[in-house]
Amino acid sequence: MEINSLGYRTDLFLLGLGGSEISDTGPYVVIRTPANPTFWWGNYLLHRTPLEPGDLERRVTEFRAEFPAAKHVALGIDTTDGVLGIDPQEVIAAGGRADPSVVMTTSSVNAPKRPNTTSTFRFLDGDDDWQRVVDLTLATSTMTVDDGHREFTRLKVAHERELVEAGHGKWFGAFDGDRLQASLGLMLDGEGLARFQNVQTHPDDRNQGIASTLIHRASTYGFEQGAKTLVMVADPGYLAIHIYRTLGFNDTETQLAITIPPA
């Protein structure tokens, strides 16, 4: 299956490892994650081309036909330049938003300018550590944390644990005693690519050099395991992107997603 976007290509690689169903219809790819039906970016359509006038309504209709029980709409565009093809106001008028993400890559990593020397950095290990990832994910969430979101988070972290335990990568944590301050995953495709997952730091532990030190340690591990290129997908409006650039990650592509949340 030919996917141009490095961001979506590595997304589909990870979803496929976790058992998601991926089928190519020609104009678009259907991604399904039956084990976590409320995971928007595990249940979406990836279209081959940018939109043209009138396309949004048609693509939403296609999504509804593929996912009749879904309350959300999630549409990806297999582009590398972030071209939407229509006025973003059309998406807003439909109750959604078009979100660009920066796909960043590096073949070497810089030492952090302000390394953290007080936290303990190690791989996650055991039930207690993975529960701490669930708790940290909820603590850093920008979504409303209700019972549905808690269940979604539990299932997503369970999927991440399965990937680690199957030998596809590692999950890294920064700890203050038993308290998880920050975490991230690094998954390797065995062909030279390694993709970062869910870099997150507890609000109480920011601005201490923890995230940059954790990313540097995970990057070093990835290169030691044979990775040639590290891939990070970042929100262009979030401060963490400056940390990634300082560590040596370069803006390579723009990944584009359209979401229409439940009414």
Cα–Cα distance, 63 to 81 (Å, whole number):
23
The predicted pLDDT at position 54 comes to 87
User: Is pLDDT at 219 greater than 90 in this prediction?
Assistant: yes
pLDDT band for position 196 (cuts 50, 70, 90): very high
The predicted pLDDT at position 84 comes to 95
The predicted pLDDT at position 237 comes to 87
The predicted pLDDT at position 263 comes to 78
Tokens of 198: 């869910």
Phi, psi of 217 (to 5 degrees): -65, -40
**Do residues 106 and 74 make contact, with C-beta atoms less than 8 angstroms apart?**
no
The tens digit of pLDDT for each residue in 69-116 reads: 999 999 999 999 999 999 999 999 999 999 999 999 999 999 999 999
The angle that helices 127-140 and 147-165 make with each other, rounded to 10 degrees, is: 130
Of all residues in the chain, what percent carry a pLDDT higher than 70? 100
From residue 65, give the alpha-carbon distance in Å to each of 30, 58, 75, 121, 227. Answer: 11, 11, 13, 46, 39
Residues 6+ apart with CB under 8 A from 13: 187, 189, 195
User: Is pLDDT at 19 greater than 80 in this prediction?
Assistant: yes
Cα–Cα distance, 248 to 112 (Å, whole number):
10
pLDDT band for position 238 (cuts 50, 70, 90): confident
The predicted pLDDT at position 116 comes to 97
Cα–Cα distance, 130 to 112 (Å, whole number):
26
Residue 100 neighbours by CB distance under 10 Å: 17
Secondary structure of residue 96 in the 3-state scheme: coil
The tens digit of pLDDT for each residue in 138-195 reads: 999 877 788 988 998 999 999 899 999 999 999 999 999 999 999 999 999 999 999 9
Q: Which CATH architecture has domain 120-247?
A: 3-Layer(aba) Sandwich (3.40)
What's the predicted TM-score (pTM) here? Answer: 0.93
The tens digit of pLDDT for each residue in 120-143 reads: 999 999 999 999 999 999 999 877
The predicted pLDDT at position 165 comes to 95
Tokens of 105: 């890559």
Cα–Cα distance, 133 to 136 (Å, whole number):
5
The predicted pLDDT at position 148 comes to 87
Cα–Cα distance, 142 to 162 (Å, whole number):
25
pLDDT band for position 1 (cuts 50, 70, 90): confident
The predicted pLDDT at position 143 comes to 75
From residue 214, give the alpha-carbon distance in Å to each of 81, 155, 157, 165, 210. Answer: 30, 24, 19, 20, 6
Secondary structure of residue 124 in the 3-state scheme: coil
**Do residues 119 and 210 make contact, with C-beta atoms less than 8 angstroms apart?**
yes
Tokens of 216: 């540097």
- Quote the mean pLDDT of the chain: 95
Tokens of 54: 């009138």
The predicted pLDDT at position 227 comes to 97
The predicted pLDDT at position 38 comes to 87
Phi, psi of 181 (to 5 degrees): -95, -35
Q: Domain residue spans in the chain? A: 6-101, 120-247
